[in-house]
Amino acid sequence: MSLSVLNSSPGVVVRAAIIGAGPTGLYLSIVLARRGHSVVLIDRDPGPPAGVPVTGWARKGVMQFHHPHGFRQQVLESMREDMPEVWDALYRAGAEAVMRPDGADIVVGFNCRRSMFEKVLREAAVAEPGVEFVLAHADEVVTAAGRAAGVRAGSLLVPAGLVIDASGRAGQLGRGLRAPAENHDCGLAYVSRQYELLPGAEDGPVNSPVGMVLTCEGYLAIVFKQDNRTFSVLVARSAGDRALARMRHPEVFEAGLRAIPALAAWTDPARSRPVTPALPGGRLYNRYQGQFAEDGSVPIPGLIFAGDAVCTTNPTAGRGVSTSLLQARELARLIGEHPGDPESATGEFAAWCDAWIKPWFADHVYWDDDLARRWAGGEIDLTRPLPSDLVVAATEADPSLFRVVGPYLQMKALPGTLAAVQPQVRDLYASGWRPTPADAPSRDELAALLAAHGTAHDTAHDGDGHFVDSPA
Ligand SMILES: Cc1cc2nc3c(=O)[nH]c(=O)nc-3n(C[C@H](O)[C@H](O)[C@H](O)COP(=O)(O)OP(=O)(O)OC[C@H]3O[C@@H](n4cnc5c(N)ncnc54)[C@H](O)[C@@H]3O)c2cc1C
């Protein structure tokens, strides 16, 4: 096969090729370019179509793209420090900073659609001198003398001394090169839908920085406030729960929401209107895959993995973009610290991810298994450490726990710090105390109610970002 070579003109040195223009790749490209690197960003997605709302950006291959995202303090702080004008642009595009609920003048995150966040970040990367976009599917990392020498994308060769795989949770390219991932099924599935407040209508009820969070008996229901008077409603259920899975049908979804008072208030046709179909989600998992091959070596010197390609966690805690941008920042720092020595950067980055990112993965593995057991009817197990969700829930009865739980909730302290309050929390549950259930039907009540709603067809998307009509 004959390959055409990108930027092969004399004097132009392509130093970093990034595979994947999701949050990780976009962010890294801007930061690396600002540190003097020239960057080629390779993605198969053409970007947002001109002249249509962001809901019209199909974003094939990124299943979660139109599902709700909560954006944490870490994302906001990173942008403010590294690229304040991009935060300003996001703010002008409608993102709303969220303050701490106790009235303290502290920002805890921002409300925005993932699609709007990515559109603005992408526009910044496109405008960044030193960042070049290539619209292509990356097929392989090319090596020369045993080191990464670039990326082949079809018949195009992108030469680069450093290759960063930021191909996300669905990226396949670098999987087989590394020791197998630790893979754990969350046991959960999403259905969500986006809405827009009608002119003059006010927000519905809120109880959390993201909007309204309801921990129900056997499922989760959340309203995420977003930019430009839009919001998303999410129902997360057991992956095997076929009765609640029927909420992928819009009429069944709406029937379910009408039975949950807080969600009914938000989605009352006098307050808001849906702007997407009900969106089913694909399989959710916790996944961690480090940098090294099974024998402990760097598989290809000069190839480094980052973002969801390293760590994916249960999205209900909204940590993924934070762990991705934290990685991007640390990786950029290490690349700067080890000029011309990407192997050292890889080793230090691997150790940093094991210390600072992997604990979030382990936290969810433990929590998710226990939640699945409880959703299946199991009691709280006091014979072993309580999972994080139960420790957090205990703050309802004992607000003094916030001193330890607060920093964990903000991802300012690792999950291991919750160990300090385990005895206190165990005593609380042992006394018979239980969290106050949300004002919502139980899973069994909701399932019975949904069973009464027949449906003619699915108006949904195909799990790959495309909105389609299909027979039920
Ligand atoms: C249902 C769901 C809900 C979520 N909710 C939240 C939330 O509330 N808050 C939060 O912080 N996080 C959330 N997350 C996590 C968040 O979406 C991810 O952490 C984030 O997308 C990771 O960004 P990334 O750039 O690493 O990967 P991705 O966003 O997956 O981007 C990868 C990019 O690589 C491209 N690509 C892949 N392979 C190739 C190839 N061979 N050639 C060219 N291009 C390629 C893809 O097209 C894509 O553009 C959620 C995740 C899911 C699944």
- pLDDT tens profile 23-55: 999 999 999 999 999 999 999 999 999 999 999
The Å distance, Cα 463 to ligand 1 centre, comes to 14
Mutate to test the pocket of ligand 1, among 324, 331, 361 (most ligand atoms within 8 A of CB): 324
Among 64, 55, 79, 91, smallest CA distance to 322 is for: 79
Per-residue confidence band for 283, with pLDDT thresholds at 50, 70 and 90: confident
Spell out the residues 6+ positions from residue 65 whose beta carbon is closer than 8 angstroms to its own: 57, 59, 114, 115, 118, 465
Give CA–CA dist 153/195, Å, rounded: 38
Tokens of 289: 């895959």
Query: What domains can you pick out in the chain, each with its CATH number?
Result: 4-184+285-356 (3.50.50.60), 188-283+442-471 (3.30.9), 362-430 (no CATH)
Percentage of the chain beyond pLDDT 90 is: 88
Residue 138 Cα: closest atom of ligand 1: 42
Per-residue confidence band for 123, with pLDDT thresholds at 50, 70 and 90: very high
Q: Sheet holding 96-99: strands in order across?
A: 70-72, 107-111, 96-99
Average pLDDT over residues 398-406: 97
> Residue 197: its pLDDT value, please?
98
Cα-based distances in Å from 63 to 77, 168, 307, 349, 386: 26, 11, 16, 27, 32
Q: Tell me the per-residue pLDDT of 80-112, one tens digit each, with 9 for 90 and over.
A: 999 999 999 999 999 999 988 777 888 899 999
Whether the per-residue pLDDT at 251 is higher than 90: the answer is yes
Give CA–CA dist 83/127, Å, rounded: 13
Q: Tell me the per-residue pLDDT of 189-203, one tens digit each, with 9 for 90 and over.
A: 999 999 999 999 999
HSE (side-chain half, CA atoms, 13 Å) at 32: 29
Q: What is the dihedral of CA 373, 407, 346, 328, to 10 degrees?
A: 100
Backbone region of residue 160 per phi and psi (left: phi > 0; alpha: psi in -120 to 50; beta: other values): beta
> Residue 2: its pLDDT value, please?
52
Give CA–CA dist 289/122, Å, rounded: 26
172: Cα separation from own chain's centroid = 18
The Å distance, Cα 448 to ligand 1 centre, comes to 35
Find the radius of gyration of the CA atoms of the chain. 23
Give CA–CA dist 382/428, Å, rounded: 10
Q: Are 183 and 176 in contact (CB under 8 A)?
A: no
Q: Which helix (H) or strand (E) holds 471?
A: strand 467-471
Measured CA angle at 174 (ends 330, 183), to 5 deg = 85
Per-residue confidence band for 460, with pLDDT thresholds at 50, 70 and 90: very low
Residue 65 Cα: closest atom of ligand 1: 17
pTM for the full predicted model: 0.94
Task: Report the residue count for the chain.
Answer: 472
Nearest CA, atom 37, ligand 1: 167
Average pLDDT over residues 270-289: 95
Average pLDDT over residues 354-363: 98
Average pLDDT over residues 130-134: 97
> Residue 347: its pLDDT value, please?
97
The Å distance, Cα 186 to ligand 1 centre, comes to 17
Per-residue confidence band for 454, with pLDDT thresholds at 50, 70 and 90: low
Mutate to test the pocket of ligand 1, among 28, 40, 69, 191 (most ligand atoms within 8 A of CB): 69
Tokens of 49: 């179509």
Residue with tokens 């906001």: 76
> Residue 105: its pLDDT value, please?
83
| Residues in the ligand 1 pocket, defined by CB under 6 Å | 19-25, 42-45, 61-64, 67, 69-70, 137-138, 166-169, 171, 173, 190, 281, 307-308, 315, 318-322, 324
Residue 68 has φ and ψ, to the nearest 5°, of -65, 145
The sign of the torsion formed by the CA atoms of 71, 72, 75, 76 equals positive
Residue 312 Cα: closest atom of ligand 1: 19
Give CA–CA dist 243/465, Å, rounded: 24
Give CA–CA dist 384/257, Å, rounded: 36
50: Cα separation from own chain's centroid = 25
3-state SS assignment for residue 325:
helix
Q: Tell me the per-residue pLDDT of 410-424, one tens digit each, with 9 for 90 and over.
A: 999 999 999 999 999
Give CA–CA dist 247/97, Å, rounded: 31
Q: Tell me the per-residue pLDDT of 341-356, one tens digit each, with 9 for 90 and over.
A: 999 999 999 999 999 9
Q: Are 309 and 350 in contact (CB under 8 A)?
A: no
Among 91, 456, 388, smallest CA distance to 83 is for: 91
Residue 224 Cα: closest atom of ligand 1: 8
Average pLDDT over residues 148-175: 95
The Å distance, Cα 25 to ligand 1 centre, comes to 10
